[in-house]
Amino acid sequence: MTIEATRPSAASERTTQRPDLPPARPIDRIAVAVLLVGTAVFYLWNITVNGSGNVFYAGAAWAGSRNWEALLFGSVDPSNFITVDKPPVSQWVMGLSGQIFGYSSASMLIPEALMGVATVALMYAAGTRVAGRGAGLIAGAALALTPVAAMMFRFNNPDAAMVLLMTAAAYCAIRATATASGRWLALAGVAVGFAFLAKMLEGLMVLPALGLIYLVAAPTGIGRRVTHLVIATVTMLISAGWYVLLTLWWPASSRPYLAGSTDNNFMNLVLGYNGLARIEGKQQGGGAARSVISSPQAQDFIDRIRHSGGGVGGRGGGGMFADGPGITRLFSGEFGIEISWLLPAALVALVVALVLRGRAPRTDLMRAGVLIFGLWMVIDGLVLSYMKSNPHPYYSLAIAPPIAGVIGLEVVECWRQRDRIVAIVGLAAVVAAAGVWGFVLMQRQSSWLPAVAWATLVVTVLASVGVLVVGLVGRSRSRTGSVSGRGSRRRFVLGGVAVAAVIGALLAPAAYATEVVATPHTGGGPSVSPASEDRPSAGGGFGGFFGGTSDKSPALKELLGSTTSRWAAAISRSSAAAQIEIDTDKPVMAIGGFTNDPVPTLAEFQQYIRNGDVTYYLASAGGSRGGSGSAGRRSATSIVPGLDPSMSEQATKLFSQYNSTSVTGKIQAWVEAHYTPRTVGSYQVYDLRHPTS
């Protein structure tokens, strides 16, 4: 890969669309092969170290590998009691892989890594379409080495599928904008629709940028632009709406309950749990149990944990919770080390690129491409910054592609217009912003790889100065018309500066990304923070309250393996049910879903027992019998490892209130009152076929 050594006139640079690329040279093919093969090796390396990843979604992948209806709806169990709390696109990929190859950690996680490679390929293609192969390679490499990308493209949350589809939509929109193609814009609508089916509202965050820029920049009349947008909107609604209608038309009695909803209705998820309520912090549903979690006392407790850093699902960075809403959220805490490495540089790059293209015509493709990525980055970034309900830091994967895209386009544009002071200074500023901020982030854990941190700073300073010196000298020679006879020396200097700039910008995030690949990640709040001896165990935090623990007891597997009922057992929470399913290869009913889904009612559960649909009830062996349920009686310090003892009493009281008002607590109290337990592994097992006399 080389950035063109010849410099077109300023007028032609500002007025022409990107022409069709010339045929790829051998060096171009080698460069893109290195990018994509290197990304594949990096993401696939020892990927099964993550085991089941987030066992909540692993259960759905296992269920989908065994039952087509479970695959269609994203059920946690193959007997189709309840779904995961997201639409099923990601589960379709993992479940189909399991149907073809058999369920395993590899069959579940390898498709996630391949989606990461495909996303990098799309970033290369998008950058290349706008500004040439140099821009594509820079954008692809920047995305591949972003720590949150290295983590989530090796994990089984829905974010990988969603971001792949969002990036596909941006690529299609760029192609549509270049030629006023209604077909490519319709394909962008299809991609956005399926991104919605991966993670609902978050998948739509790219939509405003795509629609606005096409309306402004497509090289055709306003009437045709509007018509194309209407058609693309229809294709988006069809690609998302068919599944919504399927859930509405399919009899609720013969499909699994839609987890996260209050009334088993998909639109309730769209508007509530996975919609605007997430942003506004007004989560719906769950009756009295939800009101406990939403109470000021509970929110105060969560805030205290968030700021104390006490064992809430992460490694050093606090993977389960983010800092409070505000413009600095993406630069601080776990958010900062997952996504912000190149964010300051991207913000600078956005401004510089727009200044450089300030006099370009309406249809300028370079400016359109910068704005597609820039608006996606800004809009989605602001939503993440001010989101009030459950803003997990790994959600920031959604803005990794636009950050990389803006930087790739700006670097190439600065090189092409290197006869302008603003281009020289702008490029130096981008290099400095990336490297200096990388040093700052590395210093937050200064005992980890200090040599990398200082090397980043030193190389960045040298590269930034080098960009300024080489740029100003070259500009001076160009303006005076002088020609140097030392072309080879000049190319050597330019190459050295370019290498230093790349190292300064990417060394620090690459170190974090490498640590991510080398470290197991499990649970609901994975973290990119470097491993440390004092970190809580992976998957800690509230996982113990909402999920339980793994028990690979041979006795439990043998006990459940002998059952022939629709569900071998029932247990509170989907994560606990999913783990037992994977350990025993038997379907398990997840009472209460992920947190507080109102199913089944006590009457419904009793009917399941009378029908012989469920054989055993499992409860943690940590609690004694009683009406409130063992989870509510456990000490909060045992549920949240590392919790400050001063918070324990408040937390335990809240957990007890929550449990006593939820279906999980009511059902467990009834079971404890009518059946006699025996201990098997770490569980109290109640045989529902034999009530106590």
User: Dihedrals φ, ψ of 282, to 5°?
Assistant: -120, 65
Average pLDDT of the residues in 148-161:
97
Q: Please give the mean pLDDT across all residues of the chain.
A: 86
Write out the two tokens for 412: 């190439």
Would you say residue 306 has pLDDT above 80? no
Could you tell me whether strands 683-687 and 677-680 are parallel, antiparallel, or unpaired per DSSP bridges?
antiparallel
pLDDT reading at 485 higher than 90: no
- Residue 332 is given by DSSP the state S
Q: Work out the percent of the chain whose per-residue pLDDT is above 90.
A: 70
Residue 205 and residue 380 in contact, taking contact as beta carbons nearer than 8 Å: yes
Q: Is the peptide bond before 600 cis (omega within 30 degrees of 0)?
A: yes
**Mean pLDDT calculated for residue range 606-625:** 85
CA 233 → CA 226, 237, 371, distances in Å? Answer: 10, 6, 20
| Residue-level pLDDT at 126 | 98
User: Which range, of 369-383, 464-478, 505-519, averages the lowest pLDDT?
Assistant: 464-478
Q: Binning pLDDT at 50, 70 and 90, where does residue 452 land?
A: very high
Confidence check: pLDDT of 521 > 90: yes
- Reply yes or no on whether the pLDDT at 640 is more than 90: no
DSSP helix/strand/coil, 556: helix
* Residue 272 pLDDT: 64
How large is the average pLDDT for residues 652-676? 81
Q: Coil, helix or strand for 571?
A: strand
Please compute the mean of the pLDDT values over residues 548-569 and round it to a whole number. 87
Euclidean distance between CA atoms 180 and 97, whole angstroms: 37
Tell me which amino acid residue 138 is. I
> Do strands 614-620 and 677-680 pair parallel, antiparallel, or not at all (unpaired)?
unpaired
CB of 213 closer than 8 Å to CB of 188? no
Compute CA distances 179 → 125, 129, 170, 176, 185, whole Å: 16, 12, 15, 6, 10
Query: Does residue 281 register a pLDDT over 90?
Result: no
Please enumerate, as own/partner, the contacts of 80-83 that have beta carbons within 8 Å and a separation of 24 or more. 80/255, 80/256, 81/256, 81/257, 81/567, 81/589, 81/590, 81/599, 82/256, 82/257, 82/259, 82/574, 82/590, 82/593, 82/597, 82/599, 83/256, 83/257, 83/258, 83/259
Q: Which of 92-106, 469-483, 647-661 has the highest mean pLDDT?
A: 92-106
Distance between CA atoms of residues 198 and 40, nearest Å: 23
Residue 123 falls in which region: left (phi positive, over 0), alpha (psi -120 to 50) or beta: alpha
Residue 371: how many CA atoms within 13 Å on its side-chain side? 25
How far is Cα 500 from Cα 207, in angstroms, rounded to an integer?
36
Distance CA 96, CA 498 (A): 44
The two three-digit tokens of residue 278, written as one number: 């997430």
Q: Does the predicted TM-score (pTM) go above 0.85?
A: yes
Strand (E) or helix (H) holding 61: helix 55-64
Query: What does the pLDDT read at residue 611?
Result: 97
pLDDT band for position 620 (cuts 50, 70, 90): confident
Strand ranges of the sheet holding 614-620, from the earlier edge strand across to the other edge: 588-591, 567-572, 614-620, 683-687, 677-680
| Over residues 286-315, mean pLDDT | 48
Condensed to tens digits (0 to 9), the pLDDT of residues 419-441 reads 999 999 999 999 999 999 999 99
Angle between helices 343-356 and 421-443 (to 10 degrees): 170
Give the pLDDT of residue 491: 77
- Per DSSP, what are the bridge partners of residue 618? 571, 685
Q: Domain extents for the chain?
A: 21-278+304-518, 543-687
pLDDT tens digits, 192-204:
999 999 999 999 9
User: Which runs of consecutive H residues, i.e. helices, occur in 573-616?
Assistant: 574-584, 602-610
Residue 377 above 90 pLDDT? Answer: yes
Give the whole-angstrom CA distance, residue 192 versus residue 205. Answer: 9
Residue 323: per-residue pLDDT: 72
Per-residue pLDDT averaged across 160-179, rounded?
98
